[in-house]
Amino acid sequence: MKKLGLLVIAAVLISACSSIKIVTGYNKTVDFTEFKTLKYYGWSDNSDKILNSINKEQIEKLFAKEFESRGVSITKGKSDITVSLYVVTQTKKESSVNTGYHTGAYGGYSSYYGYGPGYGWGNGYSNGGYAEHEYTVGTLIISVFDANNKKLIWECVSKSTLEEKAKNLDKQIAKTIAKMMATYPVNKKGN
């Protein structure tokens, strides 16, 4: 499971071939512009089984950069908001059945067997089959709590199919976190 750490980072956050699904929600009665400091609460216990400390630090720094661009800085002391992070993976199976039936050549020079006028008189054949494909779905969750009343005020969930070979991993992680933070109720400064 530990070797999944890099794989999870590559794919939970973004993969070269699959799209990222993002779901978000926030408390519309809260004025998010009032929050100026944040502290990380930490990672959920199950995240330790998937990510190593280097992966966690990288993700935290990317989120910190996004928050800082919105006027919220990291502190180790008392903070306005508390941020909790969580990563989980789930293995899924997908099956497909191909019942393809093909007829002979139509309008070609020859029929299926290589003789005849080629008007589609050739024999039909089937190349159907059953295939099963196993894949992993990774999910990254960021939860933001009002530190004063300890209530959840914003949460964003990013879900993606894991790809074993991710290119430009650092850029992909940053892009995913930027997409997640684009749903945060405060825009980047200058936007």
User: What's the token pair of residue 69?
Assistant: 């661009």
Range with the poorest average pLDDT among 57-61, 97-101, 124-128, 157-161: 124-128
**C-alpha–C-alpha distance, residues 11 and 20, integer Å:** 9
63: which DSSP letter?
H
Domain 4-95+135-181 is of which CATH architecture?
2-Layer Sandwich (3.30)
Interval 120-134: pLDDT, tens:
555 555 556 777 777
Q: Which residues contact 190 (CB under 8 A, 6 or more apart)?
A: none
Of 43 and 116, the one with more pLDDT? 43
